[in-house]
Every structure is written in structure tokens, then in C-alpha cells.
Amino acid sequence: MRCCHRHAPAIASSEPHPFSLPGATEHYAAERPVRAEHIRLELDLDFEARALTGRCTTRVSAVRAVSTVTFDAVDMDITEARVDGRPARFSNSGAHARVELPEPMEPGQARDITLAYRCRPRRGLYFWGPDAGYPERPLQAWTQGQDIDARCWFPCLDTPAQKATTEVIATFPARMTSLSNGVLVRDVTEGERRTQHYRMEQPHSPYLVTLVVGEFEEATDSAGTVPLRYLYPPGRREDALRCVARTPQMVALYQQLTGEPFPWSGYAQVFVTEFILGGMEHTTATTLLDSVLHDARAHADYSAEPLIAHELAHQWFGNLLTCRDWPHGWLNEGFATYVEVLWKEHADGADEADQHRLTDLSAYLTEVRERYARPIVARKFHAPMDLFDRHLYEKGALVLHELRRRVGDDLFFRALRHYVSRHRHGVVETVDLSRAFEEATGHNLDRVFDQYVFSPGHPELKVEVRYDAEEARLRLKVRQTQRTDAGTPVFRLPLDVRVTVDGRDTLHRLDITDAEHFFHLPCPTPPTQVRVDPRREVLGAVDVDKAVGLWLEELRAAPEARARTEAAHALGKDGGSRAVEALGRALEDDALFWGTRAACAKALGRIRSPEARARLLAGLPVAHPKVRRAVVAALGEFRRDVEVAGRLRALLEAGDASYFVEAEAARGLGRVRAVDAVPLLEAVAARPSFQDVIGSGALDGLAETQDPSAFPAAVARTAYGQPAHMRRTAVFAVAKLAQVARREREAVDLLSDLLRDPQFRMQWTACEAAKTLGDRRMIAALEGTSLNDPRTRRAAREAVRALREGEPQAREVASLREEVDKLKEESRALREKLEALALRRPEPPPPTSPPRGRAAAKHAARKSTSRRVTGRGRRK
């Protein structure tokens, strides 16, 4: 599974909150007195009533003597129970169905238990179709069972450890088709109804059982002997193939990495409407959100390949090897997220892979900074879906890279293949991965797992680099600065440092074991580069303090793109004239990796000097769209700058080859607080684009103007029927504009209504926007609204906590930020005036004769004092 929704800026806290919210309980794997062997589902879908009629027959075998079998079954009207075809007594609590066996089952005995039922599912199975707001929406039904929602559309033993073979026999309108797990074995149409029968011959978990019904077109392909199917909305063939075209190459790579041939009968990918995730890896049949379908214009900036790569990886990690219970879910999601990096490395090179890891690291570190730090394996939560966060995905992936860094590529991939071979078709916990690595490599990695998986947090390294010419050595001081009073340990880790002297690189691997270290490296002449963790592989934060000259040389000549990117960030903090010149040169260098050039643009925006502005304006025509977008975003830092506003306005009016550059220009125009920006941004919001990125950028820009007149336009775009992506952006714009427009009450009412919106993502967005609004009147709505999705319930709880604890501080911080921005603008204006005065200053008069007598003595004393002060300054 890959989550796919936008995260709003959270109210920052100097001390992140605990992960476990009040009322959370500890969760352990369910007991298994019986094992599911086979599931047969016979389903009839009623689209008009949005209802399901079904018969579920489960063959179970006893592990111990049992007289009853209890199935998870939520909100189902169960009409009959049978055991081996004979009627049986049962009870139904609304959450569980308990079947009494005619006679007890002894260990090893098997029974077929059938439950007939009707339901109108609120979760698990979703019906969608056209309505007044979205008359073009297609008529579809699809399922999504992760984490524990399979029980909402068929009775089952709903735990990942209960793997069984399956059959799905679905009846639906004849004009439609379906997709389910395994192989289609029968397809019959009788009158207005069509029945398709799918059979899955290999065992898999209940949450991986799928059914999709709708009207689709289809393309086929193959990866060796593996048949591939792509199902997509009518008329979207080219856009679909643009997303999935490299699937065969991915299959080939994953077979090589895992040592395991594709484990199933085939693989299908289907794009559906309103899917509540980015994608879901049902066995043999991945479901994908159709909004990732994109045209050729978007393709220069956007690719669905990370999502495609992620979900395909689950066919091995998650489906073939499945976490025993959800606290170990990182063995599914962390692996799939890391395989995204491995695919990037294989298909697009090391620089792209490192850039992808940078995105993962930033996402994880942001969650720690703004929400919480938790052990990856955690058991105290409200619902398992609480665990599906940046720790499970991104930190899980980074842990795997840390293991690779520790043991090296050869041993890492040997261990990976051993892990897959040993546990194929089984269930796994973290200890299974640890032991597989130990068996395959000879390395005991228990400490790594204890520190990075079973403990919260990460190392925060402060590295000071100094060259000692007298001793001809390089001195490095390394401190771990993370707080250790909440369970975060002092880490043991290797730290790579590459030192360049006389054009030659030397690699030093430093062993970090304590909170503080001093390392002295022989260095006969001053180094030109000292690259600490040059590819930024440490799982944690690394802050390096070294001479500006080293950063300048690394930006110019470091062989690793990530090292150059780090140099760009550091030079942005320095802000001197040499830094601006170097960043400007790198920005214009088409031969440099785009991620480094984008970092240079961001650094220039941070500096915000006239010279930096000139460099950015000169960089506006750069060819690479991602670099051009970064340049435009950086120009948004020059608040109330008339020239910048004019260039952004001109770009918006003329348009750009990239949707994303136009979106950033709209956002930037609002950020610079351009005069009369509101009418233009309102017009730009109507431009059609992929995922409505231009309209969303315009709405962000309206929010950034802090102009009260923008509030009505933002409210209008939240209406049901507006494009979905724009609706969500508009909600945040309303929250940001409400105070300046003095319409907080209206914003509270709007967000409260959106908590009941039919679209899940709007409910979630309303919860997040409540924190941005900062109005405690939202608490009653957040606590009083019944929310079906566990992610929304979690978001609501966090919003309530933020409003109770942080709302006054949030307002104060926002006010202080505004004042700081004003002071920065005033300071910049003063600098410009001083520079102008300096240019107009008359030439100094010719030197006069030196003073004599008492005047000469005073003059000499002043010169002596001046020399002493200057000397102290140099030594310091």
C-alpha cells in the first residue's frame, strides 16, 4: 500500500508528542485455534442500492479441539450458517459471527463453514457513481481491505497470518467487467447480469483479497513468461501506458534482487476512481488511484513509477512474505519503499536514487519534528492504521539502507535472497529478518535493530571539521546531540569521510560509539574537500561545520551529487558574496544533476540579497523543468519585491511548458504579496492541469497574499463538485485567510461540515486544516463527528490535542513570523540604500602631512590600539 494524500504543515513543537494517544491499547497477534485453508466468495452486487448479497464458505482446520468458530464480520445481516452443508446455530454481535459446530473439531480435522449475508458496507467495499456534483464520475465498485477492513465485506478470520487460497464469484451488470485475484476460470452473461469466477491457487491473507467492478479498457504485455494486464478508464490508453510501461523491467529486476521468480500466475494493474489510497497491492491485482494517470506535458515533471514500483514490490514483500501482525508491518511497507530506491538506482542511476532517499529522509525527519518519534515496531495504538506513517514506510526503508551500508552490497543482497527463500509463503516478524541477515552474512545485527527499529529516534550528529597546519592533520569533532531521555539511545554507527588532498581521495570510516569523539586524520597539506557522509547515507541528521572554502570546492567538484547538494544548502546559510557567486554558477550549469541545481536555487532564495535575486532572475529560462520550478519557488522568498512580482506575473500570463512551474509562479506571486495579485490568481485557478496543480498553486497563492478579499474565492473552491485536489487546497486556504478576513466563525462552520463530506480525503483535510485555523471552537465538531476511516479518526484526535495545547502558541508564532519577514524586508531595503550611497560617495581627499608634537602622539596611540583590536579579531 502507498498512501497518497497531502500533508498540511503541522503546528511545530519543540518536543514532539507521544505516538500513543489517550485511550490507545496494546495489540498482539490474534490467537489461531483454527486455520483458514480456503475461502469461496459468491457475491451479487446491487449498484443502485449500494448493497452486497453474499455467501462465504471458509474451510477451516482445527489447531486444538474447538466447538465454535468466530469470524470477523462487521455490520452484516447474517441470514444463515451451515457446517459441511448442514444448518448450524450462530450468533451475530455486529462485529463477530460465532458459529456453533454440530460436534467439536479435533486437531487436524477440517470443516466447511458457510455464512449467507447481506450488507451495505461502510468500509472494505465501496460503490461509486455519478451524482449532481460529479456527473462524469464512472460507476464502479472496488474493495480495499488493509488493515482490518476485509471483515467489512466478507466474514473472515481477519489477520495477516491467516493465509488461504480463494475463489471470488461475482455477479454484476453485464456491461461491466471485473478483476479479482488469480485466474479467470469462468465468464458467463445471462440477460442483464454477468458472472465472473476467479480462482487463486496459492494462499494469501484476507486483506489481499480484491474485487473491482466497472467499465474498463485493457492492454496486455508480458514480463518473460509472466502475463501482464493493464485496466484503465475508457480513452486513457496512452496515459495508462505512460505510467506502467516499465513494469516488465521492474519484474525482471525484482526477480534478480530476491532470487525468487514472480511468485503468482500473473499480474494486473487497474486504475479506479476515488480510491482511498495511492495504491493497494492485492495479490496478482494491484488497484491504483486513477488521478495518477497523466499526459505528456506532466511527464517531464511527474512520474507514477515510484508508486508502480512500490506496489509491484509488494508481490514479494507483503504478499509472498507477510507480516505476522501489523506492528511488524514495516516488513511489508519499508521493503516496498526501499525497492523504489533500488528501482531508481537500476533504471535512472545513483544520483536519482540518492535524491529519492533524500525525499524519504526528509519525510521521516519532518514527522519526528512535527508529530512524534516512535519505535518502528510499536504495539500501543487505537487502530493498526495508526502505524501507517513515515516511520513504517520511509524510516523502514532507511533502516534497510542502513543495513546495506553496514554489511556492503554483496552481503546485503545475499541476505535478502536468503530471507525471501526461507520465508516464502509464510508470515514474518522483525526477528526473522535479523536472523536471516545473521545466517547469510555472519554479522550479528541485533544492536542495529534494537537502536533503529525497537527504539524511537535517530542519531543527530554535529560534526566540526578543522585543519591543523602545525600538526599536519585534520581534526574532526563528532557529537551526538539527540535527546536520550525518552528512549532514544546513543547510537553506534560508522561515519564515512572522504578527504581530498592534491587531487586524490582517501576514504576514512570513523566508528562512532559515544556521545562525543575527537578524530585526528593525517593530512600533510590542507585538504580541498572534506566530504562527511558524501552520499548522505546515515539514517539521521548530520550537521557539518567547516570552512566556507571547503563547501565552495565541493559544490564545484565533488563527484557525488548529494555532496554538492549538501554544499548548496550550507552555502545558503553562509550567504556571503562568494557563496552567491558559486551558487549562481552551479544553477546555470546544465551538466550538473537537477537536484543539486534546485538546491542552489533554494539556497539563493534563502539568502535573499540583491545579488541572489539577480542570479535567480537570470536562471528563470533554465531548460530543466524541475530546476525552473525551484527557481520560481525561490523567487517567492522576495516579499514585496516589485521586480520579482512583475517577472512572476509575466510568467503566469505567458504560461510555461510545465504545469508545475506555472503552479509555483502562482504560489510565488502570492508569497511576494504582489499588488493586485488576487484577480490574476482567481483567473489562474480556473486553468485545467494535471491533478489541478495550477489551480491548487493559485489557491496557495491566494492564501499567501493574506488579502481578505481572497477569502470568498477560497470558500467557493471547497464546494462539492469542484475538482478534488483543488478542494483540499482550498480548505487550507480558508484556514489561513479566516483570521485576516475576520471570518473565523464561517471557517469553523465550513470545516465542521466537511468532516461529513462523502470524499474521505476531504474529511482528513478538514481535520488537518483545523490545526492551521487554530480555533478551539472546532473541538466540538472534531470530537462529535462520527468518522469511519481510522486515519481520519487519528487526524481528528491529533487536531483536538493541537487545539487544546498549541492554538495560542500557533497564533503567536504566525504573528512573529510575519514581523520577522517585515524586518527582513526593511533590512534588505536599508542595505540597498547604503550600497547606493556608497556608490555616490565622493573620492577621499589626498593624504595630509602627518601630525606633529602632541597630536602625533595621540595619532600613534590610536593606530596602536587599532592594530591590537584587529589582531585579537584575527586570532579569534
* Per-residue confidence (pLDDT) for residue 17, from 0 to 100: 85
CA distance 113 to 58: 5
pLDDT digits (tens, 9 = 90+) for 193-243: 999 999 999 999 999 999 999 999 999 999 999 999 999 999 999 999 999
Answer for the pair 572, 538: CB distance below 8 angstroms, yes or no: no
Alpha helices (runs of H) in 642-723, residue ranges in sequence order: 642-654, 659-671, 677-684, 693-705, 711-716
Q: Are the beta carbons of 324 and 429 closer than 8 angstroms? A: yes
Report residue 686: phi and psi, to 5°: -90, -5
Q: Regarding predicted confidence, which is higher, 463 or 860?
A: 463
pLDDT of residue 841: 52
Q: For residue 697, what pLDDT band results from cuts at 50, 70 and 90?
A: very high
> What Rg, from alpha-carbon coordinates, does the chain have?
31
Minimum mean pLDDT range among 286-290, 640-644, 849-853: 849-853
CA neighbor of 703 nearest in space, from 773, 648, 760: 773
Query: Which of 780, 769, 814 is closest to 10 using CA atoms?
Result: 769
The Cα–Cα gap between 585 and 803 comes to: 46
Is 825's pLDDT higher than 70?
Answer: no
Q: What is the largest CA-CA distance in the chain?
A: 125
CA–CA separation, 529 and 510 (whole Å): 17
Is the Cβ–Cβ distance between 149 and 105 less than 8 Å? no
Q: Whole-angstrom Cα distance, residue 278 to residue 729?
A: 18
Q: How many C-beta atoms lie closer than 10 Å to residue 826's C-beta?
A: 10
| CA gap 474, 223 in Å, rounded | 53
φ, ψ for residue 547 (rounded to 5)?
-60, 145
671-680 tens-digit pLDDT: 999 999 999 9
Q: What percent of the chain has pLDDT over 70?
A: 90
Q: What are 479-538's pLDDT values in tens digits? A: 999 999 889 999 999 999 999 999 999 999 999 999 999 999 999 999 999 999 999 999
Q: How far apart are CA 180 and CA 213, in angstroms?
A: 9
For residues 524 and 584, give the distance between their C-alpha atoms in angstroms, rounded to a whole number: 33
- The three cell numbers locating residue 6: 497531502
Classify residue 832 by its DSSP letter: H
Cα–Cα distance for residue pair 343/345, rounded to 1 Å: 5
Name the pairing type of β-strands 285-289 and 267-272. Answer: parallel
Q: Above 60 in pLDDT, residue 845?
A: no
> What value does the mean pLDDT of the chain take?
93
pLDDT in tens, 20-69: 999 999 999 999 999 999 999 999 999 999 999 999 999 999 999 999 99
Tens of pLDDT along 433-475?
999 999 999 999 999 999 999 999 999 999 999 999 999 999 9
Question: Of 288, 295, 291, whose CA–CA distance to 238 is shortest?
Answer: 295
Q: Label residue 806 by pLDDT band (50, 70, 90).
A: confident
Quick one: cell of 212? 473491482
**What single DSSP character describes residue 651?**
H
The predicted model gives 592-616 an average pLDDT of 98
Looking at this protein, which amino acid is placed at residue 779? I
Whole-number pLDDT of residue 872:
30
Q: Is the pLDDT of residue 558 over 90?
A: yes
> Residue 2 — very low, low, confident or very high, per pLDDT cuts 50/70/90?
confident
Vertex 84 angle, CA 79 and 87, to 5°: 35
pLDDT tens readout for residues 350-407: 999 999 999 999 999 999 999 999 999 999 999 999 999 999 999 999 999 999 999 9
What per-residue confidence (pLDDT) applies to 775?
97
HSE, side-chain direction, 13 A CA sphere, residue 295: 10
Per-residue confidence (pLDDT) for residue 819, from 0 to 100: 60
Rounded Cα–Cα distance for residues 434 and 84 (Å): 43
Least-confidence region, from 588-597, 709-718, 832-841: 832-841
Q: Residue 26, Cα to own-chain centre: how many angstroms?
A: 26
Contact 368, 283 (CB under 8 A): no
Strands 66-72 and 51-62: unpaired
Q: For the whole model, what pTM was predicted?
A: 0.91
Mean pLDDT along residues 152-157? 98
What mean pLDDT comes out for the span 599-627? Answer: 98
pLDDT tens per residue, range 560-600 = 999 999 999 999 999 999 999 999 999 999 999 999 999 99
Q: How far is CA 402 from the centre of its chain?
A: 19
Cα angle value 655/657/658 (rounded, 5°):
95
**pLDDT confidence of 857, banded at 50, 70, 90?**
very low
User: Measured between alpha carbons, how far is 714 from 658 in angstroms, rounded to an integer?
Assistant: 24
Are 61 and 37 a contacting pair, CB within 8 Å?
yes
**What is the per-residue pLDDT for 521?**
96
Give the C-alpha separation, 214 to 246, whole Å.
25
**3-class SS at 670?**
helix
- Reported as a single tens digit per residue, the pLDDT across 113-138 is 999 999 999 999 999 999 999 999 99
> Per DSSP, which regions of 487-537 are E strands?
493-501, 504-512, 516-522, 529-532
φ/ψ region of 502 (left if φ > 0, alpha if ψ in -120 to 50, else beta) reads left
Cα 664 from Cα 648, distance rounded (Å):
9
Tell me: pLDDT of 809 over 70.
no
